[in-house]
Chains A and B, each alone.
Chain A
Amino acid sequence: MSKRFWQGFLLMLATLLLAAGCSGDSGSSEESNVPADGVATPGGDTLIVGLEAEPTSFDAHQVSDFNSSRAAMELYDQLVRFKDGSTDLEPSLATKWDITDDGLEYVFTLRDDVQFHDGTPFNADAVKFSIDRQIDPAHPFHDTGQFAYADFTFGMVDNVEVLGDYEVKIVLKEPFAPFLSNMAMHSASIVSPTAVEENGNDFTKNPVGTGPYKFVSWTPGVEAVLEKNEEHFRGAPTISKIIFKPIAEAQTRLAELEAGNIHLIVNVPPDDLVRLQDDPKVQLIEEAGMHVWWTAFNTQKEPFNDVKVRQAVNYAVNKEAIIDGLLQGTGELANSPIPPNVWGHNAEVENYPYDPEKAKELLVEAGYENGFEVDYWVPESGSGMQQPQVMAAAIQADLAKVGIKLNIQTFEWGTYLDKVFIPMEESDMDMHQMSWIGDNGDPDNFLYILFSGEQWPAKGFNDSYYNNEEVNELLNKARISPDKAERTAMYEKVQEIIMEEAPWLVLDYEKQIVLTSPNVKNFVLHPTGVFRFSNVTF
């Protein structure tokens, strides 16, 4: 081969390397995206979704992560359902319900025209089976799974009684106002008893529900395929087939979407969002989630047992700068520990503005005129944790300006959870990051769990070991009161007290963001984060 050939070849190689170096911010291509021959182009009736990880289960009762719930939940229905766009409830498999005045008995009237995908009729027995399977250790099919949400959803249930073919009564041990919301959660999905009986442990990969989509196949690592249920009681969905593909690498997911090979992706890197906003090949869909991100202080230990110190830290951190600069607007400034799409959110309370001078004054008042030094625990990553390390670095820099020295300590997520959720006596925590994604859209799910003095770790998730008699009392009253207006008032008061007492530095509510092909229409994100495909056209 001639000298010229090799020289040309080397030149090409060098060009390729250079092109790659620049492609990070100028990767736009105006070429058409007709996929190459042989690369399957799905017909207009197959929607391909790129998830960030493998779903781990298709059994609604075992689902405990977003990848699974997004892929699996269209297979099922629950007795009641969150309305589109909110966590208000509407009838689903139950047409109506009556709650006794003492708040202890819930009688559901069921639809009589529904069948599971395997032909099993849906009835009161199936409802009882679906709940008992999770909560009754003596149930013959209790050992067919690990039910992560059973305690949360049904911990207050005493028993389930079949009153007739289409009538079922759930009796609670004690009144619990958020219970009806729990009945709309994924763990309250109704599964086909015959399918569980036939498949046992393998129900997780042979799932059968009543939902708008039927399960076709699941090849771990490759894809999961669902097809539409023509007989669904709310009407058949438009798209015939949905394929979920796990694509771990964010850049790969994005490239697949831009190449037109898949049509919807989750978790877009914030740095890419800016350039994608004007990209005609993609459609950006965002919606507030039921999310809050915070840094908790150990309120039982110096220096953070002093409310002035906690307030000082709150004043010292430039929250807007973190949200706009680091998170590229993927979060919304929080004003309270519960996001606005959860009812009971108090829009009147305000977060601490950025005011380093005020912070210094408070530190002097608290007797820390020379500042202090504490450890700041930060996870490497974790669900809802956004950009833990860079956010920690920004907070560290802001606090350094008022004389507070943070020693950032980073831990792997599993280790991190072990360190954070331990009893107060064993903990040497000063401050740490945490986030929460709500489950049932009830304020109790945020405020009671995260701030009640009865919820200190390891029992619960009050990770600042916060304890305030007034708050405890309000939270306890609110969770048994049947009157929503009364509950709202109590929760609003709780938020006022908490923002004043500052057991946390509350930062933001992360938005859910997905990118789709431009021709995907009517895809609406739900506050719960579960994907709904029934109305999508494409």
Chain B
Amino acid sequence: MEVSPIFVYIIRRLFGLIPVLFGVTLLVFSIMYLSPGDPAKIILGPKATADSIAKLRTDLGLDEPFLKQYFTWIGNVLTGDWGRSIQLKMEVLPLVMDRFGATLILTITSALFAIVTGVAVGIVSAYKKYSFIDRALMIMILVGFCLPVFWLGILLQIIFGLQLNWLPISGMYSPGGSGFEQLAKHLILPSIALSAGVGAVIARMTRSSMLEVFENDYIRTARSKGLSEKRIVFLHALRNAFIPVITVIGMQIGFLLAGAVLVEKVFSWPGIGTLMIDGILARDFPLVQGIILFVATAYVLVNLIVDILYALLDPRISYK
């Protein structure tokens, strides 16, 4: 029976994830274990007595040796028991999944936004190279790339939320509200803040990649055949220019997830970033470990998908 090489490749990559994730869990667990600050003391507050702290440490299993704690945790995780958040006193897995949904909505919207604007700006800029438009766009890209996410977020809030009153300032829905329309409105400002940097990188990549492709013989051939500029740009040039762009997009997903932490904090977006910061400050081991494991898994899976997309787009790439 003939097995498609792509299929074998995917399976191999999936198995390859196991040691990666194992390494991630060990790393995360060690970092949390070694980080100073006693969770029991933080939970009970500075006013707790030594006795109650000692008791809580025992209850939480914090006085067990490192390896025992680690394997207990891994064992539980594999059976679907991700533990209970020390601080929020809730099951970790449903909590993380619930909050990850909000982060996903934000990052996907931002990614789409960054890709669409980035690619569009890149194409225009490349097509009109060295013109005023090109230069103006390059300045915009530079600004978009340099603005700290945090600062841009506050700036957008002040202008479009407070001064102009066009858009909501924080949260995912207005208090007590729900519905797609509200969600969409609440998404706009944080998505712009989050996508600016990534959009700028994509735009630059698209521009230089397009410029390179424009130099190729087949574009000249297409032109000499009398094809319309539209067809040349979108059909011939873009498809070939897109491969390095996809690489960049894949790499930028990590950046988006990291940026989401800041954007969520600024906009009180109920995602995983806010949850993680609170968790770290509270030394909420089960929660932080759960979040990082979840995010790491999502990240490697996204990278896998990007690699597969490559393969589909460019038959020259081999999977051996």
Which of A34, A57, A202, A249 is close to B268, meaning CB atoms less than 8 Å apart? A249
Cβ-defined contact, A414 with B41, below 8 A: yes
Q: Does A223 contact B (CB under 8 A)?
A: yes
Q: Is the interface of B mostly helix, strand, loop or mixed?
A: helix
Interface size on B, residues (CB 8 A): 69
Q: Does B64 contact A (CB under 8 A)?
A: no
CB nearest to A439 among chain B residues: B47
Cβ-defined contact, A148 with B133, below 8 A: no
Which of A155, A241, A246, A255 is close to B158, meaning CB atoms less than 8 Å apart? A255
Query: Which segment, of B69-77, B164-172, B219-227, B241-249, faces chain A?
Result: B164-172
Which of B172, B175, B268 is close to A42, meaning CB atoms less than 8 Å apart? B175
**A:117-136 near B, CB below 8 Å:** none
Interface size on A, residues (CB 8 A): 79
**A244 vs B170: C-alpha distance when bound (angstroms):** 14
Which of A262, A415, A460 is close to B37, meaning CB atoms less than 8 Å apart? A415
**A436 vs B80: C-alpha distance when bound (angstroms):** 42
Residues of A close to B88: CB separation below 8 A? 54, 56-57, 220
| Minimum Cβ distance to chain B for residue A69 (Å) | 11
Contact with B along A208-238 (1 / 0, CB 8 A): 0000000000011111010000000000000
Are A148 and B45 also in contact (CB < 8 A) when A38-B181, A252-B268, A255-B158 are? yes
Cβ-defined contact, A418 with B41, below 8 A: yes
**A39 vs B44: C-alpha distance when bound (angstroms):** 39
**A262 vs B169: C-alpha distance when bound (angstroms):** 11
**A165 vs B272: C-alpha distance when bound (angstroms):** 48
Q: Does B228 contact A (CB under 8 A)?
A: no
Cβ-defined contact, B49 with A34, below 8 A: no
Residues of A close to B132: CB separation below 8 A? 3, 6
Residues of B close to A251: CB separation below 8 A? 154, 157
Residues of B close to A241: CB separation below 8 A? 176
**A:254-308 near B, CB below 8 Å:** 255-256, 258-259, 261-262
Q: Does A152 contact B (CB under 8 A)?
A: yes
Are A29 and B266 also in contact (CB < 8 A) when A40-B176, A415-B37 are? no
**A:190-220 near B, CB below 8 Å:** 201-202, 204-205, 219-220
Q: Does A321 contact B (CB under 8 A)?
A: no
**A53 vs B83: C-alpha distance when bound (angstroms):** 22
| Minimum Cβ distance to chain B for residue A526 (Å) | 19
Query: Which segment, of B5-13, B50-58, B200-208, B231-239, faces chain A?
Result: B50-58
Residues of A close to B277: CB separation below 8 A? 248
| Minimum Cβ distance to chain A for residue B164 (Å) | 8
Interface residues of B (CB under 8 A from A): 36-38, 41-52, 56, 59, 84, 87-90, 95, 98-99, 102, 132-133, 136, 139-140, 143, 154-155, 157-159, 161-163, 165-177, 181-182, 185, 265-268, 270-271, 274-275, 277-278, 281-283
